[in-house]
Amino acid sequence: MASDFAIAQFRFLERLLVVHGHWCYKRIAQMICYFFYKNIAFGLTIFYFEAFAAFSGQSVYVDWYMLLFNVVLTSLPVISLGVFEQDVDSEVCLQFPALYQQGPKNLFFDWSRIIGWMVNGLYTSLIIFFLNIIIFYDQAFRSGGQTADMTAVGTAMFTCIIWAVNCQIALTMSHFTWIQHLFVWGSVTTWYVFLVFYGELSSALDENAFKILTEVLAPAPIYWITTLLVTIVCNLPYLAHISFQRSFNPMDHHVIQEIKYYKRDIEDRHMWKRERSKARQETKIGFTARVDAKIRLLKGRLQKKYSLMSAPSVISQQT
Amino acid sequence: MVTIRADEISNIIRERIEQYNREVKIVNTGDEASQTISKKSKKPQYSRFTQQELPACKPILTPGLVITTLISIGIIFVPIGLGSLSASEHVVEIVDRYDDACIPSNGDDEAAKRERLSFIQNAKTNKTCIRNLVVPKKMKHPIHVYYQLDNFYQNHRRYVKSRSDRQYRSPGSEGDTKTCAPESEVDDHRPIVPCGLIAWSLFNDTYGISTKDNPIPINKKDIAWQSDKNSKFGSNVYPKNFQKQDPVGGGKLNESLPLSEQEDLLVWMRTAALPNFRKLYGRIETDLEADEKITVVIQNNYNTYSFDSKKQLVLSTTTWIGGKNDFLGKAYISVGGTCLFLAIAFILTYVIKPRPLGDPAYLSWNLNSATR
């Protein structure tokens, strides 16, 4: 996390702080929370399987899947979140410096948020693991009567993980350029493409993963239905939480996003200008601030002196 | 000593200033002929990417969008759930446990256990066992016959590791048995084909099914995956030195058939995910009527008595979702129902206590001053 910045002119400091500082804080907070979430969701499923494998250390996933998880399949969307995410655009940041206060007030990286994301990861891992295990339990999974072996169950479970965490990041992002779309949906597509190509390699024969998608899983409707079910169940609590929070307890950037979305800033320029001026504060530090404070103090004393001086004249008039 | 007059100095200064202005003008108007100081702009090249101004869609979760999403999820999920549940209802399944009935004694004491073990491990005892089953509903062909094992950890790491796919594929790699320990070689270092614990523990109970008088043939072709038969196991690899030394773990193999045609072995080699699993034994290609009495003649060869396990015979029809799977339909219906309930809750709270969108009164500096 870089904290050394060089700017060419002193006037660039405003942009650095109010635009880039604001974005940077939110990007890093969201990226870290999401990273914990996705790795908890993935890692805990491996631990749960140990309870069913006599704690022998057998992983339900083929080694290649686990290697690619953090390298190709889920790393690019997080990078695009951490590099490109904007809650409001740069003009609005400059017009509303009060939005920067979300950083010092630590609204996005406090303990309740971190623990909330971790609980979300725990819930996701439980849903993915147990739904897959129960659905693929011991009966046939295809109309041909075949039962699912460990590689088939592992591949189905891994597909659910990829979909669930990528849909989760799509719900977290609020700024979608072509890059985000490419990375998020491209990661899901890459998973299927990898399965097709890996299934053709002879090294996949050693892992029971030969033609795992083309022959075993893709023709089974239960595979696709399970993926859909697990993805929706994993993301439903988060969707409900953010919709309720946004509707009944909105934060500043939510309200401003809505104003811009419904173009109220263009319809009601007076309101926009008024809110912009309210979003600035007089500075409380520095030489000019001290001078202003001293002037206010002296003015106050002068007011009191005048009121005292005028009071006896009132009394003398009455007597 | 050189004397310079005041007016000359001012002329010199004026000249210099004019020359400088000319140079700046030349540079600013882009005259290439000028070779003086160039005041190039140091501003970096503008691009939408570096200025983070790429065209973007910024969707926001309005109540309308959320309610629409939840209702559409509910509308899609409930029919899928109903379809899956009805498919599962159509599956007819017969499950029969026979390992406790097909042995001499069933007690829990040490003597009974020893008796069971000596019975099952003795190659000369008569292990035939007759079971009678009743068909609950009409079963349409193909009816799939499975054997189910409980508490058998085919997913144990040492067990899963103990195989050599290279040896199974090609006869030249016969000696590639390093990963198969402890079942890799016989005493005089000749390799076992197929090596490894998985092949060694091959399940070898057999079932013969018949109705009142007629035996029903069980089709044992095409029970393994096509890719197993074509690519994974060689059509010129023959079993060698298999189950020739003590202890014998399971079934023996026909040494004249290549591995790719030993479909029971292929099905067994696909290690199951859970300790309770079923594996396909064969298929019955005729219908079974409701209330029909069928007799199963079982050869109870496989030793599941040294550990706490169960053996069951399963006959099951299948539908598009496979075997009996009530959970899938119920899960879909409950998730669809939850989404509809959330949508209704959202609509109610939005109707009762709406928040106008884009209302600046909800900005924190306005809210704080309102409460003060």
Cα angle, residue B269 at apex, residues B164 and A224 outer, rounded to 5°: 115
Question: What pLDDT was estimated at residue B110?
Answer: 86
Q: How confident is the model at residue B1, as a pLDDT?
A: 53
Instruction: Look at residue B138 in the predicted model and tell me its pLDDT.
Output: 94
DSSP for chain A, written as a single string: -------SSTTHHHHIIIIIIHHHHHHHHHHHHHHHHHHHHHHHHHHHHHHHTTTS---SS-HHHHHHIIIIITHHHHHHHHHH--SS-HHHHHH-GGGGGGTTTT-SSSHHHHHHHHHHHHHHHHHHHHHHHHHTSSSBSSTT-PBPBHHHHHHHHHHHHHHHHHHHHHHH---B-HHHHHHHHHHHHHHHHHHHHHHHSGGGGGGT-TTIIIIIITT-HHHHHHHHHHHHHHHHHHHHHHHHHHHHS--HHHHHHHHHHTTHHHH-HHHHHHHHHHT-----SSHHHHHHHHHHHHHHHHHHHHHHHHHHHHHHHH-
> Is there a contact between A150 and B142 if contact means CB atoms under 8 Å apart?
no
Geometric angle at alpha carbon A142, from A138 and A145, rounded to 5° = 70
Please report, rounded to a whole number, the percentage of residues in chain B having pLDDT higher than 70. 94
**Inter-chain residue contact A148 with B63, CB threshold 8 Å:** no
Nearest by CB: A139 against B275, B278, B331: B278
Show residues of chain A in contact with B274, CB under 8 Å.
52, 133, 137-138
Residue B32 pLDDT more than 60? no
The pTM score is 0.87
Compute the count of residue pairs across chains A and B with CB atoms less than 8 Å apart. Answer: 218
Q: Does B231 touch chain A (CB under 8 A)?
A: yes
Q: What is the pLDDT of residue B212?
A: 84
Most confident range (mean pLDDT) of B38-42, B208-212, B275-279 is B275-279
pLDDT band at B372 (very low <50, low <70, confident <90, very high): very low
Among the partner-chain residues B55, B66, B270, the one whose CB lies closest to the CB of A177 is B55
Chain B interface mutation, best of A89, A93, A137, A138, highest count of B Cβ atoms under 10 Å: A138
Would you state the pLDDT for residue A314?
Answer: 53
Is there a contact between A251 and B364 if contact means CB atoms under 8 Å apart? yes
What pLDDT sits at residue B144?
96
All residue ranges of chain A with pLDDT < 50 are 319
Minimum-distance CB partner of B323 among A139, A259, A278? A139
| Pairwise CB contact (< 8 Å): B365 & A242 | no
The pLDDT score that the predictor gives to residue B17 is 83
Residue B10 C-alpha, separation from nearest chain A C-alpha, in angstroms: 36
Give me the pLDDT at residue A21, please: 93
Mean pLDDT score across all residues of chain B: 89
Indicate the residue type of B181: A
User: CA nearest B280: which of B140, B87, B133, B144?
Assistant: B144
Among A106-110, B242-246, B291-295, which stretch is predicted with the lowest mean pLDDT? B242-246
| pLDDT, position B30 | 54
Give the pLDDT of residue A1.
59
Q: Looking at the predicted structure, is the pLDDT value of residue B39 above 80?
A: no
Chain B neighbors of A264, CB-CB under 8 A: 358
Touching check for B337 and chain A: CB below 8 Å? no
Residue B102: the pLDDT is 86
Per residue in A192-238, pLDDT (tens digit) is 999 999 998 877 777 788 899 999 999 999 999 999 999 999 999 99
pLDDT value for A319: 47
Q: What is the pLDDT of residue A115?
A: 97
Closest CB to B56: pick one of A149, A175, A206: A175
Query: Is it the case that residue B371 has pLDDT exceeding 60?
Result: no
Pairwise CB contact (< 8 Å): A232 & B316: no
Report ipTM (2 d.p.).
0.86
Q: Would you place residue B3 in the very low, low, confident or very high pLDDT band (cuts 50, 70, 90)?
A: low
Q: Sorting pLDDT into bands at 50, 70 and 90, what band is B77?
A: very high
Q: Does B322 touch chain A (CB under 8 A)?
A: yes
Element (H, E) at B27: helix B6-28
Q: B253 falls in which pLDDT band (50, 70, 90)?
A: very high
Chain A residues closer than 8 Å to B73 by CB: 232
Whether B229 and chain A come into contact, CB under 8 Å, resolves to: no
Q: Which residues from chain B sit within 8 angstroms of residue A150, using beta carbons?
A: 154-155, 160, 271-273
Question: Of all residues in chain A, what percent carry a pLDDT higher than 70?
Answer: 97
The pLDDT assigned to A38 comes to 95
Nearest to B274 among A57, A138, A246 (CB): A138
- Tell me, what's the pLDDT at A316? 53
C-alpha separations of B236 from A210, B169, B192, B229, B239 in Å:
20, 8, 15, 12, 10
Mean pLDDT in residue range B262-291? 94
Instruction: Look at residue B34 in the predicted model and tell me its pLDDT.
Output: 46
pLDDT of B206 strictly over 50: yes
